Amino acid sequence: MEKAAVGEHSISMMNRAVMALSGVTDVSEFSDVKVMLKTTMGDLCIKGKKLSINQLNTENGTLDVRGEIHSMQYTTGSRDGFFAGLFK
């Protein structure tokens, strides 16, 4: 498989139990209920039950997660919006 180009990121999920991701640069936190990872499109938090990482390939940026997937949420770390202007 070719190395993902900078900025490319994709997610494929089957039956809320198997998730394949590309564009993964790092896994910062992992437990059976939460996986925090860095992608080329921002930080991503995956929550669920009995989560496991079946495969992580940092060379091509792929990750496979299995378990009972409840949610996923991107966090960017940028300070946009109302409060951004107050704290400049």
Would you place residue 86 in the very low, low, confident or very high pLDDT band (cuts 50, 70, 90)?
Answer: low
Please indicate, yes or no, whether the overall pTM of this predicted structure exceeds 0.85: no
**Which tens digits make up the pLDDT trace of 43-53?**
999 999 999 99
**Phi then psi for 40, rounded to 5 degrees?**
-70, -10
Average pLDDT value for the chain:
85
Q: What 3-state DSSP class applies to 84?
A: helix
Q: Quick one: CA torsion of 77, 36, 17, 12, rounded to 10 degrees?
A: 50
Quote the pLDDT of residue 11: 96
Q: What is the pLDDT of residues 12-33, one digit of tens each?
A: 999 999 999 999 999 999 999 9
The rounded distance, in Å, linking the Cα atoms of 73 and 76 is 10
Helix (H) or strand (E) holding 28: strand 24-30
Among residues of the chain, what percentage have pLDDT more than 90?
73
